[in-house]
Every structure is written in structure tokens, then in C-alpha cells.
Amino acid sequence: MHSSQPGINIEALLAHVPLFNELENEEIARLARGTREINASRGDILFHKGDTPTGFYLIVYGQVKLAFTSPQGGEKVVDILPQGQTFGEAVMFTDKPFMVYAQALADSLVLHISKAAINEELDADPKLGRKMIAGLSMRLHQLMNDVESYSLHSGRRRIIGYLLREESKDGEKEITITLPTNKGVIASRLNLTQEHFSRILHELSEKDLIVVDGRRIHIADVDALRNYDL
């Protein structure tokens, strides 16, 4: 893992982040001065559980996993983050150590935006504070949905819900999705073992509700899958 590749325009990258799209050019320039780029290869650790946050992160491209290790030595995936996603903001504001570790699931370019730079802009521009609160609130809402799903829904319903998150906004009845990472990581994200996850995918295939081709999953009838086992 290394940083400071020549030719990367940090200001331009920050300007395209939804979180910062109401900031003026000079505000973006100040943030850029407190930002460094990190080129992470697949498998690289961006931070460990227990590290002290010095800022938060933005994925320019690639994919990052947030996870922790159980006392028994197993891994529990908390989230799988795509490009454009930020992470680490909430912990940065609490002055407490990270509760998870962050690992690149693919070759990634990540920006680290320093806490000092963010605090300076929050003092100057309340709009940024409102947007950050909104983003953190959305993440908390998703976390509550996950807790409800783990507590009340069967493994089958969790997997069906996950697959249909990718459903076309046009209401298409037939869709093909590509899993963002390997089945073991997704299973952990859904609080399932990999064996349970694979068994349910096999069951859905046997019922002709899905066709699995590696990471690609074809759903011939979205409504039939949604209503299965209700």
C-alpha cells in the first residue's frame, strides 16, 4: 500500500463527491490540502481495529470491507463498500478507536481526509455538517434494517432481500445482477455461514427462481422470487 501517486488531482476528485458538492472551490482546495491518496492493493489493510482515527475515508474506485474477528477467530463482515462511499466519519467524531478493520477487496484508490481539515470546514459551512449528519443517519437506518433482518427473518429471506436490493428502478420483471464480491464475504455480511448461503442459493436454483453463473445471478421473475416463502 502506498500513497502520493503523481498525476492524481485530489481537488477534482473531492469536487465530485456528493458530500462536498455544495462547497466552493476555495473550500475544496482547503480540504485537498488535508487529504492524501492511498493506493491499496487487494488484501491491503487500511486500518486495524483499535487504531486511532485521524480522519475519514473516501473510495474513489475499488471496494472495501469493514469487518472484525470474533473471539473464536471467525470473521464477521459489517459492510461491503463500493466506490463513492465514505467511511470512518462517525468514529472520527467520537475520538474513540476503530471498532472494525478496513481491508481492500479489490485494487482501490482511497482518499484519507484529515479530521483537522473537516473540522475547519464544519466551522465555516454548516451545510457540510447537515450533509454529513444526513449521510450518517442513512447508514444508521440501514444498520437498524440489518439488525431487524438478522433478528426476525430467515436466512432465505435475508438472501432474497439482498438479491432484490439490486432490482431495476424501472420495475423490470427479469434482471441479472453481479455479486460485488465472493459468496463467503456476502454470507458473513448477512450473518450466515458460507455453507448456509450456498445451500439457499442451490435451493432457489432448484425452484427455478434464479440461475447462478459464478458471481452473476439471473432472476427470471422478480415477483416470484420476492414472494417465495412468504
Task: Give tens-digit pLDDT for 187-229.
Answer: 988 889 999 999 999 999 999 999 999 999 999 899 999 898 7
In this prediction, residue 61 carries a pLDDT of 92
If asked whether residues 124 and 100 sit together in one domain, one would say yes
If asked whether residues 129 and 190 sit together in one domain, one would say no
Q: Which of 152, 179, 200 is the last residue of a domain?
A: 152
Q: Which of 152, 184, 204 is the last residue of a domain?
A: 152
Considering only 1-5, 40-44, 66-70, which range has the smallest mean pLDDT?
1-5
Domain that holds residue 84: 2-152
If asked whether residues 180 and 146 sit together in one domain, one would say no
If asked whether residues 169 and 93 sit together in one domain, one would say no
User: For residue 174, how far is the Cα from the chain centroid?
Assistant: 26
- CA gap 155, 157 in Å, rounded: 5
If asked whether residues 39 and 101 sit together in one domain, one would say yes
Q: Which of 119, 152, 185 is the last residue of a domain?
A: 152
Task: Name the domain count of the chain.
Answer: 2
Considering only 31-45, 60-74, 90-104, 155-169, which range has the smallest mean pLDDT?
155-169
> Are 193 and 76 spatial neighbours (Cβ–Cβ below 8 Å)?
no
In this prediction, residue 97 carries a pLDDT of 94
If asked whether residues 102 and 171 sit together in one domain, one would say no
Give the pLDDT band (50/70/90) at residue 111: very high
CATH number at residue 210: 1.10.10.10
If asked whether residues 175 and 126 sit together in one domain, one would say no
If asked whether residues 9 and 110 sit together in one domain, one would say yes
If asked whether residues 52 and 128 sit together in one domain, one would say yes
If asked whether residues 11 and 94 sit together in one domain, one would say yes
If asked whether residues 14 and 81 sit together in one domain, one would say yes
Mean pLDDT across the stretch 58-80?
90
In this prediction, residue 92 carries a pLDDT of 87
If asked whether residues 13 and 74 sit together in one domain, one would say yes
CATH number at residue 74: 2.60.120.10
pLDDT tens profile 16-67? 877 787 788 888 999 999 999 999 999 999 999 999 999 999 999 999 999 9
